[in-house]
Amino acid sequence: MITSLRHGLFNAAHAIGYTVMPNWRVERHPQAVYLRKLFRLLGIDCVLDVGANIGQYHDFLREEVGFKGKIVSFEPIPTHVDALRERSVEDSEWSIEGYALGAVAGNLALNVMSSTTFSSFLAPKPSTPKCFAESNEVREQITVPIKRLDEVLPRLLETLRFRSPYLKLDTQGFDLEVIRGALQCLSQVRALQTEASVRPIYEGMPDFATVQRALEDLGFQPSGIFPNNEGHFPLLIDFDFHMINGRFHNESA
């Protein structure tokens, strides 16, 4: 009964030009609207979810963006991989790849943090902002496998039969390493988002200007910026930086 009333309220508000949503969705609503428009413009039929954790981005795409296409989630922490595979049984368009992506294939020590969303191949900086300090402490180190996107994307294209991928990167300071392992196949990616840092919280983490220059050199153009954590206020720490492959933007313009 409550669900029916809620849907009725939402539909009635939409019919007269209003959007009604729970408070917890308000912060990310502009990004959801942006992605909905971008995916429609570029014909995105698959999202490569690199740094999936326990599937938060999958849920965002399904519940808030309304994306119904394929999602391929990459996650190296074994307990998370097991949880993702269990969850994916209920979504036939969701595939789980149990490894990390990087510039060089092999094995590497991963710092698993107190809050696993902060887990990184990089060490946390002592000067981490207070709002992240407790979450960004190393709890343990585990060795995980790494593959290159150049190696795995051809297989995914063949087996899952998608044509227009979108690349989401959230690897806690390792995004450029993922890009360096995708230089041959990146031309097939229509758009991407990376977690760009204003105040790096890991040792050796590139700042947003370095990431922007690297991606622009590869033919991507800035498209959208969305702060990704309400704890940033009043100073920005990092943001989701969306960029479009210039080749596909020119085709769709």
Residue with tokens 């036939």: 92
Domain boundaries, the chain: 26-252
Q: Looking at residue 8, what is its pLDDT?
A: 62
**Contact between 156 and 72 (Cβ < 8 Å):** yes
Exposed/middle/buried for residue 14 (C-beta within 10 Å: 0-12, 13-18, 19+): exposed
Under CATH, to which class is 26-252 assigned? Answer: alpha beta
Q: Looking at residue 16, what is its pLDDT?
A: 76
SS3 76: coil
Q: Looking at residue 229, what is its pLDDT?
A: 66
> What 3 state SS string does 124-148 have?
ECCCCCHHHHCCCCEEEEEEEEEEC
User: Is the CA virtual torsion 140, 144, 150, 156 positive or negative?
Assistant: negative
Q: Looking at residue 134, what is its pLDDT?
A: 75
Q: Looking at residue 253, what is its pLDDT?
A: 53
Q: Looking at residue 6, what is its pLDDT?
A: 54
- The one-letter code for the residue type at 155 is R
Q: Looking at residue 9, what is its pLDDT?
A: 54
Q: Alpha-carbon distance 236 to 15, whole Å?
A: 36
Question: What residues contact residue 48 under an 8 Å CB cut-off, 6+ apart?
Answer: 72, 74, 149, 153, 165, 166, 167, 168, 189
Ramachandran region of residue 37, left (φ > 0), alpha (ψ -120 to 50) or beta? Answer: alpha
Per-residue pLDDT of the chain (253 residues; tens, 9 = 90+): 555 665 565 557 657 766 776 655 667 899 999 999 999 999 999 999 999 999 999 999 999 999 999 999 999 999 999 999 999 999 999 999 999 999 999 999 999 999 999 999 999 988 666 667 678 889 999 999 999 999 999 999 999 999 999 999 999 999 999 999 999 999 999 999 999 998 888 999 999 999 999 999 999 999 999 987 665 667 788 899 999 999 887 655 5
**Contact between 175 and 212 (Cβ < 8 Å):** no
Q: Alpha-carbon distance 224 to 190, whole Å?
A: 14
**Contact between 223 and 168 (Cβ < 8 Å):** no
